[in-house]
Amino acid sequence: MLNSLKLENYRAFKHLEVNNLSRVNLFVGQNNSGKTSILEAAEMIIRRNTVEAITYSTRRRAEILHSEKTRLNWNIDICHLFNGHVIDIGTAFAIKGYDNNHELLLRGEIHPHDASYLSNKQLSQLQLFADEDKGEEKIVPQYTLSIENNIADEPLIIPLSEGGGIPYDLLRRRFGDGSPQDLPLNFIRSEALDSYEMRALWDDIALTDQEFEVIKVLQILEPNIERIAFLSERPTRLSSAGGIYVKLKNVSMRIPIGSFGDGIRHLLGISLAAIRSANGYLMIDEIDTGLHHTVMEDMWRVLIETAHRLDVQVFATTHNLDCVRSLAWLHEKNPTLGDEVRLHRVDKNREKTTVYSPDEILVAAEQHMELRG
């Protein structure tokens, strides 16, 4: 498990320390305070493939450059990874962490496109990019990005396009399209996962006892659900949620899961991702999306129990006080269950998150902690 994080010049933060991480971590704070960035920073140092680490969050945020001067017209706009959204020679960001006393590091720095400072191996990397650029209008880079981590012997060097982006097509051909890493990690966005993403998660547990674990989670919102099925139905322009159906007790017809609202889809995505994250990590942005306050306590109970049982470390965000209250109420009823839960308040004007223990979460909730700023 990650024990701590330290961010330098990364996205919204010039400097931030996140200490006392535990099994389940909930980050709260006003809008645009950087909560999601903390989840992404943790994701970036956990992933072993440095190229994926750089590109996953930028692709989710649609941080894309379109160039009219090259047919490689979708480039990953990396400037937003740097505090201030500006890149120049010497600009750098760093993410450090400790995982059971092992130091983790991911550092990106902008260099001039000058081969004089590169090793033979790094020169070969640049040549491989140039070789892949066959048949396309040539990229004349001004900068290169070096990506350093604590695993590789020396930094990976990637040329940036004229606009300062990473040509994704070249990355895909050089490094693949994002194969799973040896450490399980799943990231649930604030919007619901689409049917394709959930089907991929479902395929890993189909015809196992874990199917029943998912049903139990869905029964938090609809107690009459007996079964769930993913059918070969293509999403249409009217809906991207096609193909997921449930069977209700004493109802003969199958019911589209979309008939139950966004909350049940969100719970389905969380439960599938939690099971697939066994012995790994689960990131959930806006964990309360679509959920009424009356079911949040049950959601937390199931998620914490699953995290304990499957050895998953959870990072989640919210700006909903009811979400915090429900966590406090759960701890009050079952103190043992909440022992490994921590609440982290994020404030852009502070260099450390404010950490609340389970007992302090209850006090904060009773005092109506202001989350939106």
Q: Give 127's pLDDT tier (boundaries 50, 70, 90).
A: low
Out of 15-29, 91-105, 204-218, 222-236, pick the least confident.
222-236
Top mean-pLDDT range of 10-24, 144-158, 233-247, 265-279: 10-24
Three-state secondary structure call for residue 357: coil
**Mean pLDDT (whole number) for 229-248:** 70
DSSP 301-348: HHHHHHHHHHT-EEEEEE--HHHHHHHHHHHHH-TTTTTTEEEEE--T
Q: Say whether 164 sits in a helix, a strand or coil.
A: coil
Rounded to whole angstroms, what are the CA distances from 342 to 20, 106, 248, 364? 8, 25, 37, 12
Better-predicted residue by pLDDT, 167 or 323: 323
Distance CA 316, CA 27 (A): 6
Name residue, tokens 């006392």: 20
Whether the pLDDT of residue 373 is over 50: the answer is no
pLDDT, position 123:
58
Lowest mean pLDDT among 148-152, 216-220, 280-284, 285-289: 148-152
Choose the weakest-confidence range: 129-138, 176-185, 199-208, 294-303.
129-138
**Least confident span in 37-46, 337-346, 361-370:** 361-370
Distance CA 273, CA 287 (A): 13
pLDDT recorded at residue 2 = 95
pLDDT computed for residue 172 by the predictor:
62
Query: How many angstroms separate the CA atoms of 363 and 372, rounded?
Result: 18
Percent of the chain predicted with pLDDT > 90: 42
- pLDDT of 359 above 90: no
6-10, 98-102, 279-283, 338-342: least confidently modelled range:
98-102
For position 288, what pLDDT does the model report? 92
pTM to 2 decimals? 0.87
Assign 169 to helix, strand or coil.
Answer: helix
Sign for the pseudo-dihedral over CA of 39, 41, 43, 46: negative
Amino acid at residue number 140: V
pLDDT digits (tens, 9 = 90+) for 181-202: 567 999 998 876 788 888 888 8
- C-beta separation of 28 from 344 below 8 A: yes
- Taking all residues of the chain, what is their mean pLDDT, rounded to a whole number? 83
